[in-house]
Amino acid sequence: MSLDSVDLDLNIEELVLRGFPGRDQDRIKRAVRAELERLIRKNGIPTALSRGGEMASLDGGSFEAKSGSSPEEIGAQVARSLYGGLR
């Protein structure tokens, strides 16, 4: 079964972004969601999510954003960290 034909409902209740300007946070959040959906469609549903339950929290670790990175690049980087934490 292809994940392209599966209805994916990804709900991120809270995403805490420290150290980023408020004006960029909505763009970062949209990029996180888009990249997580892309990763799930490409690589499959991680075991932590495949059970169909909710997760109380997920620590995606930390990363360093390169100077001059766009909110979309930062969001994609956050999503990759989160996805890695789910595997």
pLDDT digits (tens, 9 = 90+) for 14-70: 888 888 888 898 999 999 999 998 999 899 888 777 766 667 777 777 778 888 999
Q: What is the phi-psi region of residue 22: left when phi exceeds 0, alpha when psi lies from -120 to 50, beta otherwise? A: alpha
Residue 1: per-residue pLDDT: 43
Read off the amino acid at residue 70.
S
Q: The pTM is what?
A: 0.78
Residue 70: name the closest of 27, 7, 29, 16 by CA. Answer: 27
Q: Coil, strand, or helix at residue 68?
A: coil
Which two structure tokens, joined as six digits, stand for 66? 């390169």
- Cβ neighbours of 40 (radius 10 Å): 19
Residue 53: per-residue pLDDT: 62
